[in-house]
Amino acid sequence: MIEFIAHNLAPIMFASLVVFLLLGYPVAFSLAANGLLFFFIGVELAPLSPDINLFYPLLGALPDRFFGGVMANDTLLAIPFFTFMGLILERSGMAEDLLETIGQLFGSLPGGLAYAVIIVGALLAATTGVVAASVIAMGLISLPIMLRYGYDRKLASGVIVASGTLAQIVPPSLVLIVLADQLGRSVGDMYSGALVPALILSGLYLLYIFAMTVFSARSAPALPPEARTLGRGVTSLLVALAAAFAIAWAVSVYLEGRVPQGHAIWGAAIGVVAIYAVATLNKALKLNLLSNLAQQVIIVLIPPLALIFLVLGTIFLGVATPTEGGAMGAVGALVLALGKRRLNLSLLVQAMESTAKLSSFVLFILIGARVFSLTFYGINGHIWVEELLTTIPGGETGFLIAVNVLVFFLAFFLDFFELAFIIVPLLAPAAESLGIDLIWFGVLLGINMQTSFMHPPFGFALFYLRSVAAKVPYLDRITGKRMEPVTTGQIYWGAVPFLGIQILMVALTILFPQMVMRYKDEAPASAPASVDIELPSFGGAGGIGLPPLTFPGSDGGQPASQPNAGASAPDLGQLSPELGGNADAQTGSDRSPNDAAAPAFGLPPLQLDGPGSLEPGSPSAPSTDAERGSNSGQSPTSAPAVDLSQPPSFN
């Protein structure tokens, strides 16, 4: 029995971790305690199994894994920066302004409020990166409005939950930062690879809303005319957008060839700034150049879009690292909150407290994972997992199906951080051994882990919405009507269709990998993926890429002509005895050693095949021990003595 445990310690350790987690113990402490427990067990069982490579001094590696591997990781600094940025924006009222404005823009369309929620969810995801903040903000703001105007409760709940979870996959997602760190890949590449799948997923959500309005118009009605307080003015907005596009195109054409890269992005930035300045002046001076709707849409949408460009644009251009982009985003969020006159000490304290809690949560899980991995790798657990996954029938396709099914079901019980720190490090070696691109694999896992937020009954986004949705009947503050509460079952059933859309997105990512692989085509010019160095060849196929050596005394100090000389260097046997060469084997037997003005470096003979010998078979190489001894003046087995107390002579 003891031998069976020793030979199967890796699967037993992994199964015990799952049991600890199912019992409800905190993840960080479950990882650390499980790792230490099985470390001591492994040390005692090491003599019984060759697969166990654990010994007590190995615990001394833990401090270095903590301080050198976790604390010194600059990439993880992006997590508190992006968290702080998102919390400042969410508490500064940006989500409320966006929902109201975009709701007015699409209000005349059936399902207009649902469209607005998804679009705002994508914008919040690109500026906050925090699922809880997005779901809670939109649950508080948009759910009462959607219920007020007759939206189906299941549809309204599902839209809010699904749009909030876009923060999981839309850059600058915290999940993508953690996945890049665990996979050992660039965060910028992960962001670039996830951008198109995130946009397609948002489009699929919008397509589902459109289908619902076609087949069940009563589930998502349009806003009544009295609710459209900004009036009409879509034509004015389209004209303003056309003018901004024209300015951007003209500036881009002008800058092409005048800037090293990014002329199109600079053109777009100048076009956006121009139209924003016009809208601001129109509002301040009441010039009536734009309609109220167009003016409000431009003023409300441009700041968060500018912040997105500040963060993601600089990362994609290679100007800033993700950590630097997060720092700029945090400063930009403070500026936006200050511009709205909502920045105060209470807001800062709340944001910093929440940031510290989330950052500590991630850090403790990562430390626990380091303790667990030290033991798990010491019992060759990674080899067991890799062999288990790579032997799945179907090769790469079978591996991908099995992994996605595993992650999908584990997401019922584990948070995305727990999946990223526990499961991903075990899957990555197997994926790499099968030739799978790890950026593509990470984005695929990110989309799959996004379902962990919407899994009934354990989805965290469902809990977030449940915490802010009405639990008892209430009176609407606008209409005064009695509104029925939203039940937990309605929230769960509303999430099911969007859960199916996410599974469809996983399949599309597998079928069309170029959606992610395009990141390779967008690498910034300042950071090439690889550098090829080619040395010029001198002296034919045998050359080593060096020019011919010049020795004084040969052809009047000019390079000696040696056709087919291989390395284009003189025969080592032609050098003076001080270099360890054979003076009798010089080219031109009439030359004495004194005629050769080769420098004396004071070095021992070059030994390539035994003591005191040159390359075997060469004309100048001694063939016997006697010859070696006679040439060097030493015993056959000893090198000539060198006086190391004096500097070498170059005379």
Residue 406 corresponds to which tokens in the numbers above? 């595993």
Contact 221, 151 (CB under 8 A): yes
Q: What is the DSSP string of 303-360?
A: HHHHHHIIIIIHHHTTSS-HHHHHHHHHHHHHHHHHHTT---HHHHHHHHHHHHHHHH
pLDDT in tens, 325-338: 888 888 888 888 88
- Residue 600 exposed, middle or buried by CB count within 10 Å (0-12, 13-18, 19+): middle
pLDDT at residue 553 tops 70: no
Our CA angle for 91, 82, 163, nearest 5°, is 65
Of residues 547 and 187, the one with the higher pLDDT is 187
pLDDT band at 207; cut points 50, 70, 90: very high
Q: Which two tokens stand for residue 122?
A: 């994508």
Helical H runs in 451-539? 460-468, 488-511, 514-517
Return d(Cα 201, Cα 168) in angstroms, integer: 12
Using pLDDT thresholds of 50, 70 and 90, give the confidence band for residue 576. Answer: very low
CA distance 397 to 411: 21
SS3 state of residue 465: helix
pLDDT recorded at residue 208: 93
Interval 346-360 mean pLDDT: 86
SS3 at position 53: coil
Residue type, 503: I
CA-wise closest residue to 613 among 596, 637, 589, 591: 637
Quick one: pLDDT band at residue 410, thresholds 50, 70, 90? confident
- Give the residue with greater pLDDT, 352 vs 126: 352
Question: Which DSSP letter does residue 68 get?
Answer: I
User: What integer pLDDT is reported at residue 647 of this predicted model?
Assistant: 52
Could you report the per-residue pLDDT of 155-200, keeping only the tens digit for each? 989 999 888 888 888 887 778 888 888 888 888 888 888 889 999 9
Higher per-residue confidence, 344 vs 92:
344
Cβ neighbours, 10 Å, residue 521: 8
The total number of residues shown for the chain amounts to 651
- Least confident range from 5-9, 121-125, 130-134, 446-450: namely 130-134
Residue where the block lists tokens 């002509």: 561
What are the residues facing 482 on neighbouring strands?
A: 475
Structure tokens at 125: 């995801």
pLDDT surpasses 90 at 205:
yes
Which of 575, 561, 567 is CA-nearest to residue 603? 575
Q: Give pLDDT, residue 533.
A: 54
pLDDT digits (tens, 9 = 90+) for 23-80: 878 878 888 888 889 888 888 888 887 878 788 888 887 887 777 767 777 777 888 8
pLDDT in tens, 94-138: 777 787 888 888 878 888 888 988 988 888 777 766 677 678 777
Q: How confident is the model at residue 610 (pLDDT cuts 50, 70, 90)?
A: very low
Least confident of 310-319, 420-429, 443-452: 310-319
CB-count exposure of residue 542 (10 Å: 0-12, 13-18, 19+): exposed
Residue 532 pLDDT? 54
Query: pTM to 2 decimals?
Result: 0.68
* 11 compared with 318, residue with greater pLDDT: 11
